[in-house]
Amino acid sequence: MKERERLRIKELLGGGVAEGSDVSVKGWVRTKRGNKNVAFLAVNDGSIIHNLQIVADVEKLDNELKKITTGSCIAVSGKLVTSSGQGQSVEVHADSIELYGAAPPDSYPLQKKGHTLEFLREIAHLRPRTNTFGAVFRIRHAMAFAIHKYFNDRGFYCLHTPIITGSDAEGAGAMFHVTAFELDRIPRNSDGNVDYTQDFFGRSANLTVSGQLEGELGAMALGKIYTFGPTFRAENSNTPRHLSEFWMIEPEMAFYEISDNMDSAEDFLKYLIRYALENCSSDLEFLTQMYDRELTERLHSVVEKEFVRLTYTEGVKILEQSGQPFEFPVGWGIDLQSEHERYLVEKHFRKPVILTDYPREIKAFYMKQNDDGKTVRAMDVLFPKIGEIIGGSQREDDYVKLKTRMKELSIPEKDMWWYLETRKFGTAPHSGFGLGFERLLLFVTGMTNIRDVIPFPRTPKNAEF
Ligand code: ATP
Ligand code: MN
């Protein structure tokens, strides 16, 4: 059978193939049942959450059937017919079955259904074969595609910013070092410090924590750009919302002020969620049924509601007056915890909130300073169940102010001269934001642990697969 003749189960179940056609399908057996005359195989090929039922005559195909168990991979040729069974429109009556690979039942970890998500994390190499992870990873793909489409349709250019960066001042968290030194023989200067001039890049290098700074360079030439790449943070934050390696989408727009930036973030999120509702319905239905009864409803509600916009100062006031016993006490100047963010979103407003104008002391050096001398034009988008999903700001475009702020924070100009030069040569108002891809996926899939929305999660003490 030629591979190009194979039909995907999505196409067969979609009704586009005439009944009575001879078809061939390939996939993994999810269940096998039957009696001494006839066998029923539920086959899944990853194209859709639903399985295709294969009906096989035991007398005719016993040789193959004997070897087939849950997890086996098979190729089937047969006739597409209307199904008399429940829950499926069509099935295939097999003329021939070829066994590609067996899966011995005594050792195949997915032999039985109903494993916990924790257990499935330990078999990250096999968990894509479950309904749950099939659904999650198909949605992940759909969201990645929608992101490129959204920006492309609106005149943004995709800019690939570097993964290895020479700067360690990106301001978004602890970094992983990149070196070609042999770790037990690191050259040192006479003063005992590491001699990076002998290292691969002739200087210290790190994995990026954000593509933003380079993204800004792109925006100052191409107008509107976005990055979509992996970022790395060496923080020991073992939470259900943090990964050590995660993907981030960072648009950066010349001539956008903070309010344009907010409009843009809101429109972008609504577009993506609408896209999921329109294009991932069978996977969303499954996840709603299995994990989160309110999922579909919550997605609709976010698309329909206007996000609340208020300042950090107003937000803190609401929290102070809430009478809620927060684990972390609230006061002007604190970095809001996810419990605070979720109170505002889930209890107080019951819709997404864009919080702006944060104290400058808790935000990055590059954010545009307000005239009050205390706050910066930051904006965080806060979502139900998630807390912060987007962090962004209008950027400081004044050369002197930016340089002064960097000095105050001891950010070495020798590492960041190139960034400063955008303000020296043809500076312009501009803004941007970062959307954590896996945070978006948590929201869209209803999963509650970020380790379950990325194929191979990297977290402290975990990088096996
Ligand atoms: P948080 O306060 O939640 O730790 P942050 O303020 O460090 O996040 P930013 O530096 O503003 O986050 O990053 C932009 C976006 O990237 C965040 O809004 C969030 O969606 C996502 N993000 C940040 N850190 C992580 C992480 N460790 N794992 C997954 N996503 C993350
Ligand atoms: Mn942030």
* Spatial CA neighbour of 354 closest among 247, 446, 262: 262
Whether 248 lines ligand 1, by a CB cut-off of 6 Å, is yes
Ligand 1, atom 18, lies closest to the CA of 390
391 lines ligand 1 (CB under 6 A): yes
In the chain, how many domains are there?
2
Is 267 within a domain?
yes
What Å distances lie between residue 194 and 198, 201, 234, 256, CA to CA? 9, 14, 20, 42
Tell me the per-residue pLDDT of 449-458, one tens digit each, with 9 for 90 and over.
999 999 999 9
CA-392 nearest atom, ligand 1: 11
Q: Per residue in 10-53, pLDDT tens?
A: 999 998 899 999 999 999 999 999 999 999 999 999 999 999 99
Hey, which of 439, 441, 442 would you mutate to test ligand 1's pocket, going by the most ligand atoms within 8 Å of its Cβ? Answer: 439
Same domain flag for 96 and 145: no
pLDDT at 16: 87
Query: Which domain, by its residues, includes 97?
Result: 9-112
Nearest protein CA to atom 8 of ligand 1, as residue: 388
Identify whether residues 395 and 446 lie together within a single domain: yes
Ligand 1 near 389 CB (within 6 A): yes
Confidence tier at 170 by pLDDT (50, 70, 90) = low
Are 21 and 162 in a shared domain?
no
What DSSP state is assigned to residue 426? S
- pLDDT tens for 263-305 read 999 999 999 999 999 999 999 999 999 999 999 999 999 999 9
- The answer, yes or no, to whether any atom of ligand 1 lies below 6 A from the CB of 344, is no
CATH classification of the domain holding 83:
2.40.50.140
pLDDT tens digits, 340-369: 999 999 999 999 999 999 999 999 999 999
Q: How far is it, in rounded angstroms, from Cα 456 to Cα 208?
A: 19
Note whether 259 and 333 are same-domain residues: yes
Summarised one tens digit per residue, pLDDT across range 113-143 is: 889 999 999 999 999 999 999 999 999 999 9
Ligand 1 contacts CB of residue 80 (under 6 A): no
**Which CATH number goes with the domain that contains 254?**
3.30.930.10
Per the CB < 8 A criterion, the answer to whether 397 and 428 are in contact is yes
Ligand that comes closest to the CA of residue 335 = 1
Contact 209, 182 (CB under 8 A): no
400 occurs within a structural domain: yes
For 322-330, what is the mean pLDDT? 95
Q: Which backbone phi and psi does 346 adopt, to 5 degrees?
A: -90, -35
Ligand 2 centroid, distance to 381 Cα (angstroms): 9
Ligand 1 contacts CB of residue 218 (under 6 A): no
